[in-house]
Amino acid sequence: MDHTGHTTVAEWTPGDADSVEAAVAAFRQELELGAIAMVTTGPGQAEHVRELPVDADLVILRRPIAGG
C-alpha cells in the first residue's frame, strides 16, 4: 500500500522457482525498508509474516503504525 493506492511488488507461482526466487528477493528488500508483511488468515484475521508464504494468494505490505 502506497501513495498510488497500492503497487504490485511481485507476482509468483508456487511451481515456478524463478518467480518465487524473485518474489522472495523483492519481499526481503521491502522488509529491509521497514515494511511489515501481512497475510489474511480468515475472516477478520491477519498475521504478519517474516518469510514469504509461497502458498499465500496475497501478501500485503504495510507500513508501521504509531500513536498520534
Q: Check the CA dihedral 5-30-53-36 and report its sign.
A: negative
Give least dist CB 26 to other proteins, A: 19
Cell 501513495: give the residue.
3
Cβ nearer to other proteins, comparing 20 with 40: 40
Cα 16 to the chain's mean position, in Å?
18
User: Which residues of the chain form contacts with other proteins (CB under 8 A)?
Assistant: 1-6, 36, 38, 40, 43-48, 60, 62-68
Identity of residue 21 = E
Taking the least distance from each CB to other proteins, the nearer of 14 and 48 is 48
Residue 7 CB, nearest approach to other proteins (Å): 9
